[in-house]
Structures are given as C-alpha cells and as structure tokens.
Amino acid sequence: MYKLTSVTKVYQKGRGTVRALDGVDLVISGGEWLAIQGPTGHGKTTLLQMLGGLDRPTSGVVDFDGQDLAQMRESQVTRVRATSIGFIFQTFNLVPTLSAQENVEAALVPLGIGAAERHARASRSLEDVGLGDRARHLPSELSGGQQQRVAIARALVKEPKVLLADEPTGNLDEGTRDEIIGLLESLWRERGLTLILVTHDSSVARRTQRVGIMRNGKLKIRQATRDAAT
Amino acid sequence: MFFTYLRRELRRRMRQAVFIALGLALGIGLVITVNAASSGVKAAQGTVLQNLYGVGTSATVTMPPSAGSFGLGGRNFTFKPGATIKIDQLTATRSLGSLSDSAVTTISKLNGVAATGGALTAVNVDTTFKIPNFSAGGGFPSGGTRSGDGQFRGPGSFNAGNQVTVNGVDLSAGGQPLGPLSNGTLSSGRTFKASDASSDVAVVDASYAKSANLKVGSDVTIANTKFRVVGVVTDPAADSSADIYIPLARAQVLASPAMKGKVNTIYVAAASSADIATVQKEIEKAVPGATVTTSADLASEVTGSLASASSLANNLGKWLAIAVLVAAFLLASLLTLAAVSRRVREFGTLKALGWRSRRVIGQVMGESITMGIIGGLVGIGLGFAGSKIVTKVAPPLSASVGQTTGSATPGGARTFPGGGGFPGGGFPGGGGFPGRGAGFRAASAAPSTTVHLTAPVTANIIILAVALAVAGGLIAGILGGWRAARLRPAAALARVE
C-alpha cells in the first residue's frame, strides 16, 4: 500500500532549518496496523502528514498504491484524501456549528454524493460507533470520547483504505482511551483497514502489529511486543 | 450542506454578522439617501431652469455681442440746448449678439433636433429729458461731475422713463412656441396664433399688466407703435418672464437698429434628453462662434439655497457616503479575515477531508455575500427612511440664475448689462450723445424661484445599492477566501497543535 523511499522534510525555522524527516524508508502493507512512537518534535506528525498527502516531502518518494503523492497535483492529492484516506485528530477537529450527523456528512461532500444517501450513510456510520442517538447534537454537547467517536465515524463513512490517527486518545481519560482504541481495533479487524496511529502511549502501541520509533527524523521499525492481530 | 453550514456559521457569529451587515446597511442607506437627495436637487434645478427656460427647451443658442455694439442704436442726436427730447425705442438686448434667421433653419435640420424657435429679446425704453443750456466748448462746470472748458447754464432734467422687457416670439411653426412664453399660464384672453405673425398684438405678463393697469383689449405702446393686448399670462417664475410678448416679425421691424431677419436667441428642443450633448456639439459646429447653453450648463449658474443643497448633496453627502461605504467594506473585509484566521483549524480539517480549496472559498464567500445582501436589504430600508426624512424636513429652496451677460438664460438675456450710466464720451461741445453708453438699468436682480425638495428613490438607486452590497460582501469574501485558499492543510492543522 505505502512505500516511502528516502523521504526527507526540511522546514525553515528562523534563520536555521529543521530536518523533521531524515531519509525515511518505510513499507506498509494493506490491512496492517502500525503505531508510530517517539518523543515530541521528532517527526511523528510530519510522517503522518506525508502519508496523508497533507504535506509534501522536500525529497524522496511517497508511493501510495502506485502513485507518488509527492509528485501529484494538489487537486489529485485532494481527491486521494477524499476517497481513500481517513483522518482522526487528537483534538477531534469537528466543525463546531455542525451537528454530529452533519460533521460526518461533511466527509461525503467532496465525493458528490446526494443529500439522501449522505444522510443515510452518515447515520449508519454514527450507529457503528455507538452514537446513533446523538446525531443531532452539536460537538459542544458531546463528551470528549463521543466527539472522538464522531471523528472516527467521519473518517470511516467514506470507507477509506487507510485510517491515519494522530494521537487519537491524547485528550481522553484512561477509560475512554481504552474504549476508543477498542473501537478502532474492532473496526480495523472488521473492515480490513490499514491503520496507522501516532501515539505516545506505549499501552496503545503494544496492541498494534508493528511499531515505528521516530527519533531526530529517522524511523526505526520493530515488531510490537503483543500482536493485536493474533 | 452549503446552506446548512452557512446558516449555522452566521448564527454562531451572529454579533459579528450583525455588525458587518449594519455597517454595510449604514453605508448603503447613506448612498441611497444621498443619491435620492441628489436626484431631488437635480429635479428641483430642472424645475427652476424650466421656469426660466421654457417648457420643452433643451438648449439655447446665442451669439456673444460684437465689440462696440453698445449705444442707443449707434445713432447721434442733434438737438438744441434747452430742448426736450422724448425717446420711445425698442432696443435688442445688448448682452446678446444677433443671429440670422437662417441659423434657426440650419439648426432645425440637425440630427436630434425636434424643434427650434427664434426669439428677439429686447428692452423698450420710453423716456424724456431736457437738454440744459451749456456754453460752446462743452464740458461740465467746476463742481459738476466733470471739469471742462464749458459750463452748464440753467437746469436740465433726465427722466429714466419706463423700461419694459419685450420678447419677440417666433410664430412661424404655429402651436406652442418654445421659449419663456411656454411657461406661462393664460390668465385671460388668448395666446398667439400663427396668423398673428405680422399683427400688432401683444401678450403681457400678469404682474406687468397689474402694474401698468393693462387688461385684454388695452393698448400698450412699444417703439411708438400701439399693440393690442390679446392675452395675459402668469409665469411661475414671475421675475424671469418678459413683460410683453409680441410677434417676432414685429419686434424685428421695430427694434433699433432694425433686426429684420435677425434673432438673438434660438430655443432648441432635442428629440430626447440623451441627444442634448450631441445636439450641442452639432450646433456649435453648424453655427461657428455661437454659445450653446444646455440645462446642464445652467445648473452651475443656479445660486441660492438650492445651490447650497446641491453642493451639500454632491460634495459633502457624496463623500460622506463614500467614506462610510469604504469604512463598511473595510470593516467587513477585516472581520471576515479575522473570522477566517479563527477558523484555520476548521478549514484545515475540511481540506484534510478532501474539500477542494474552491469549495472552502465558496463557503467563505457565501457567508460574506449573505451578510452583504442582508446589509443591502436593511440599507435599502434605511435609504427609504432617509429619503422620506429629507423630503419631509427639507425647507423650501430658493434659487436664482446668476447674472450672466451673454448667457442663454432668458432671465439673463432679458436683463440689461451692467456698467450702465454714461461712460466715456460725455457731452461734447455742440451737444449730441455719442454712440456709446446705455445701460439704463444697472444690474437688475437675478430671477428667483422657490421649489420644494423631494428625494425620490428610483429603481436605479436600488439596483446600485444591491450591487454595492453584493460588492461589499464579495470583496470581503474574496479576501477571506483568498486567505482560506492559501492554507495548506498540514500548516493549518499544525498552527493549532
């Protein structure tokens, strides 16, 4: 699914530069669950943004299903994001003025799906995450865990191939964290998703198949201590 | 989704949306009010000018006076000292040069000209004076008004006599002639008929008729010729009308020096108001040296409180409206930019979900344009209210057309030029007036009229207001959309995390 070759990302910071990614090589198979760990500021989120086509590398190849995201036009990358990649953010990033239902529907807008089908799919997706009865609620009327469930429903409603999660439990308490990770794991199992998860939490990382450690922009891969797939 | 998102967002930013919409509404309300007041002032000017100018007249054509044309007909009088002189003479207005009848025909054939009419504006002076005895060698006695070798002996006298303004009306076209008489409302008798062209008949102005004790059937003497009064007219701008109207052909014969085949004002009616500027140019080309004056030219000569209102509407009002509108546009733009800045994460997320930049821009612009339209609608309401207030509270405006020798205004044309008295020559020995001077009536008052200002809101003003409102929203939306479009999703998300 993904093949990253010598991916480097250099940011300008003041007069100096920051090498957020330094020649990262990575292969991710379809249906794999990969955790990326590492200290803050060592390139985890940058790597996730490269995988999601949210940013472009300074050099290197980000091959996604045979297409180099680094070389595609912006409109093409936007299309790939709209159809194939789902995102979950640490701060949920729900549109505050839209209801849970409408937030989920927002992910279907770029696909040009009609209002009725959008509504039906969004409702199903909310039910899948256990929020069928909260569809009309605004984000501000939901708890953190519920908001993240809405974000997961939004990410999955378009049935993407890949789910990229940037510290999805970072803002949640322990109980809710386990609940959300359990939900992600079950969805990953049921749907055969490729799930790439950035986390500081080793207990979360242990549930994945592989763990990548980012340090100073370099990636080192190791097998997780407990394979969740087994 | 577009409208749901738009509605919810505007509701969330209700205070800001109301602020932007009210700012735009205020600017647009002012634009409408000022435009309406300006239209009202123009209409008032039109009323004033029509009063002075005549119904249906689009322009007047005059010729500047030629040098050295002043004087009592350019003639010298020979008389004996102590003699009494009586003059009853019709003199073409000295402030205007003459135009031949052929100019009227030439102009009538020009494109865009619907009708023409020549006129001869003149003054009839009926005066007597007694020549004093003075010694040969002429001159004034010491202590008199002028030093010289000779001396006056015995008393002399000078009676300024009656001066009446006379207008020779072109009846060749028949029907309602162009020019000042067309303004008049017949109070008694009848107006001219085409068959009156060579008759000694007159129509007199009501106020003059009253002062001179004239009525239909009375006789009035002009240049020693009796004219039968056939009608009395009341002019809405009483000060601007002629005292006596007579057929043009008779005025041309009686004027001294004879103006046969000549006129000094040509009234022109354009086929449409849109043609006036073209007609003006065509006439200037066809009649070299002529002064062609349109109502637009005359508007600048209007003085009085109407001119002040015009100045207020066109200068202060216009700039105030522009300033408020620009401030409203700036406010809308800045608040929209600020709102976009606050929504960086939101737009970054939408882009991450696969929303194209143009969809995000469309959303921002939709919100701004909606605020613009709401502001425009409120502004139209404010504008209507403003124009009603202007109409209700505006005091009656007085207006007069400035004293402009050589002007095509009938009022201006009818007045004698200033600088009167007896300039230059004086009394040479042996007596006799030199062919200079005149100006019996020094600087007569400019004709004045009173109008009530209305401020009509026209469809064009409303269209302009809506266009401005949409433009305001569009400008703010374009700026906000441009800002949103520049956001890269990764940067947008990174900024808040």
- A228 assigned to some structural domain: no
Q: Is A45 on the interface with B (CB under 8 A)?
A: yes
Q: Helix %, strand %, coil % for chain A, to 5? A: 35, 30, 35
Q: Is B4 on the interface with A (CB under 8 A)?
A: yes
* Model pLDDT, residue B425: 37
Pick from A102-111, A210-219, B157-166: least confident: B157-166
Q: Is the pLDDT of residue B440 over 60?
A: no
Q: Is A111 on the interface with B (CB under 8 A)?
A: yes
- B362 assigned to some structural domain: yes
Residue contact A55–B346, C-beta within 8 A: no
pLDDT classification of B482: cutoffs 50, 70, 90: confident
Span between the terminal Cα atoms of chain A, in Å: 21
Residue contact A110–B5, C-beta within 8 A: no
- Taking contacts as CB-CB distances below 8 angstroms, the residues of chain B near A54 are 352, 488-490, 493
Of the partner residues B9, B12, B490, the one whose CB lies closest to the CB of residue A54: B490
Question: Is the separation of the CB atoms in A164 and A48 below 8 Å?
Answer: yes
Residue B368 and residue B262 share a domain: no
Of the partner residues B353, B357, B488, the one whose CB lies closest to the CB of residue A55: B488
Residue contact A55–B354, C-beta within 8 A: no
pLDDT, average across residues B198-224: 90
What does the radius of gyration of chain A's CA atoms come to, in whole angstroms? 17
- How far apart (Å, rounded) are the C-alpha atoms in residues B244 and B179? 13
- A219 assigned to some structural domain: yes
Q: How far is B375 from chain A (nearest CA, A)?
A: 23
- Taking contacts as CB-CB distances below 8 angstroms, the residues of chain A near B494 are 45
- Taking contacts as CB-CB distances below 8 angstroms, the residues of chain A near B355 are 78, 82, 106, 109-110
- Taking contacts as CB-CB distances below 8 angstroms, the residues of chain A near B348 are 93
* Model pLDDT, residue B147: 42
Of the partner residues A90, A107, A118, the one whose CB lies closest to the CB of residue B353: A107
pLDDT in tens, A53-99: 999 999 999 999 999 999 999 899 999 999 999 999 888 899 999 99
Q: How many CB pairs under 8 A join A and B?
A: 82
Host H or E run for residue A29: none
Q: Starting at the edge strand that comes first in sequence, how are the strands of the sheet with A67-68 ordered? A: A16-28, A2-13, A59-64, A67-68
Q: Is the pLDDT of residue B408 over 70?
A: no
The larger pLDDT score, comparing residue B102 to residue B307, is at B102
Q: Is B75 on the interface with A (CB under 8 A)?
A: no
CA B453-B457-B458 angle, to 5 degrees, is: 120
Residue contact A97–B9, C-beta within 8 A: yes
Residue contact A90–B4, C-beta within 8 A: no
Residue B479 and residue B358 share a domain: yes
- B56 assigned to some structural domain: no
Q: How far is B15 from chain A (nearest CA, A)?
A: 15
Number of domains in chain B: 2
Question: Is the separation of the CB atoms in A34 and A208 below 8 Å?
Answer: yes
Helix (H, G, I), strand (E, B) or coil at B263: strand
* Model pLDDT, residue A135: 94
- A101 assigned to some structural domain: yes
Q: Is B353 on the interface with A (CB under 8 A)?
A: yes
- How far apart (Å, rounded) are the C-alpha atoms in residues B109 and B271? 12
Number of domains in chain A: 1
- A229 assigned to some structural domain: no
| Residue span of the structural domain in which B222 resides | 64-289+413-438
Q: Is the pLDDT of residue B43 over 60?
A: yes
pLDDT classification of B144: cutoffs 50, 70, 90: very low
- Taking contacts as CB-CB distances below 8 angstroms, the residues of chain A near B349 are 87, 89, 93, 95
- How far apart (Å, rounded) are the C-alpha atoms in residues B68 and B436? 8
pLDDT, average across residues A203-216: 91
Residue B221 and residue B364 share a domain: no
Residue contact B1–A90, C-beta within 8 A: no
Residue contact A98–B5, C-beta within 8 A: yes
Pick from B231-240, B285-294, B341-350: least confident: B231-240
Bridge partners of A223?
A: A210
Of the partner residues B12, B356, B496, the one whose CB lies closest to the CB of residue A75: B356
The larger pLDDT score, comparing residue A156 to residue B418, is at A156
* Model pLDDT, residue B138: 46
The larger pLDDT score, comparing residue B151 to residue B144, is at B151
Residue contact A96–B4, C-beta within 8 A: no
Residue B87 and residue B23 share a domain: no
- A8 assigned to some structural domain: yes
Helices then strands, each counted (H, E), chain B: 14, 18
- How far apart (Å, rounded) are the C-alpha atoms in residues A195 and A162? 6
Question: Is the separation of the CB atoms in A164 and A132 below 8 Å?
Answer: no
Q: How far is B343 from chain A (nearest CA, A)?
A: 9
pLDDT, average across residues B240-256: 84
- State chain B's mean pLDDT as an integer: 75
- State chain A's mean pLDDT as an integer: 90
- How far apart (Å, rounded) are the C-alpha atoms in residues B204 and B113? 29
- How far apart (Å, rounded) are the C-alpha atoms in residues B413 and B445? 12
Q: Is the pLDDT of residue B422 over 60?
A: no
- Taking contacts as CB-CB distances below 8 angstroms, the residues of chain A near B493 are 49, 54, 89, 93
pLDDT classification of A111: cutoffs 50, 70, 90: very high
* Model pLDDT, residue A125: 92
pLDDT classification of B409: cutoffs 50, 70, 90: very low
By C-alpha distance, which of B273, B235, B2 is closest to B114? B273
Residue B266 and residue B332 share a domain: no
ipTM over 0.90: yes
Residue B334 and residue B255 share a domain: no
pLDDT in tens, B346-393: 888 999 999 998 898 899 889 888 988 898 899 899 989 988 888 888
* Model pLDDT, residue B329: 83
* Model pLDDT, residue B336: 81
Q: Is A106 on the interface with B (CB under 8 A)?
A: yes
Q: Rounded to 5 degrees, what are φ and ψ at B253?
A: -75, -40
Q: How far is B379 from chain A (nearest CA, A)?
A: 28
pLDDT classification of A143: cutoffs 50, 70, 90: very high
Q: Find the residue in A nearest to B345 (Cα).
A: A93
Residue B113 and residue B240 share a domain: yes
Q: Is the pLDDT of residue B305 over 70?
A: no
The larger pLDDT score, comparing residue B315 to residue B456, is at B456
Residue B157 and residue B183 share a domain: yes
- A19 assigned to some structural domain: yes
What does the radius of gyration of chain B's CA atoms come to, in whole angstroms? 34
Residue B486 and residue B351 share a domain: yes
- Taking contacts as CB-CB distances below 8 angstroms, the residues of chain B near A106 are 1, 5, 350, 353, 355
Strands A33-37 and A210-215: parallel
CB within 8 A of B210, min separation 6: which ones?
A: none
Residue B313 and residue B282 share a domain: no
Find the CATH number of the domain harbouring A162. Answer: 3.40.50.300
Residue contact B5–A102, C-beta within 8 A: yes
Q: Is A32 on the interface with B (CB under 8 A)?
A: no
pLDDT, average across residues B15-37: 85
Q: Is B126 on the interface with A (CB under 8 A)?
A: no
By C-alpha distance, which of B317, B459, B462, B443 is closest to B380? B462
pLDDT-above-90 percentage for chain B: 7
pLDDT classification of B38: cutoffs 50, 70, 90: confident
Bond before B257 cis per omega within 30 degrees: yes
Q: How far is A190 from chain B (nearest CA, A)?
A: 22
Q: Is the pLDDT of residue B139 over 50?
A: no
CA dihedral over A197, A202, A204, A209, signed as positive or negative: positive
CA dihedral over A153, A92, A140, A171, signed as positive or negative: positive
Pick from B182-191, B307-316, B432-441: least confident: B432-441
pLDDT-above-70 percentage for chain B: 69
- How far apart (Å, rounded) are the C-alpha atoms in residues B458 and A8? 65
- Taking contacts as CB-CB distances below 8 angstroms, the residues of chain A near B359 are 109-110
Residue B203 and residue B331 share a domain: no
- Taking contacts as CB-CB distances below 8 angstroms, the residues of chain A near B351 are 78
- Taking contacts as CB-CB distances below 8 angstroms, the residues of chain B near A45 are 494, 497
Pick from B50-59, B172-181, B184-193, B411-420: least confident: B411-420
Helix (H, G, I), strand (E, B) or coil at B145: coil
Residue B243 and residue B142 share a domain: yes
- How far apart (Å, rounded) are the C-alpha atoms in residues B42 and B6? 43
Q: Is the pLDDT of residue B25 over 70?
A: yes
Number of Cβ within 10 Å of residue A226's Cβ equals 12
CB within 8 A of B279, min separation 6: which ones?
A: B58, B59, B110, B111, B112, B113, B268, B270
Q: Is the pLDDT of residue A172 over 90?
A: no
Q: Is B358 on the interface with A (CB under 8 A)?
A: no
pLDDT classification of B237: cutoffs 50, 70, 90: low
- B407 assigned to some structural domain: no
- How far apart (Å, rounded) are the C-alpha atoms in residues A137 and A101? 8
Q: How far is B496 from chain A (nearest CA, A)?
A: 10
| Residue span of the structural domain in which A100 resides | 2-223
pLDDT, average across residues B149-173: 69
* Model pLDDT, residue A23: 92
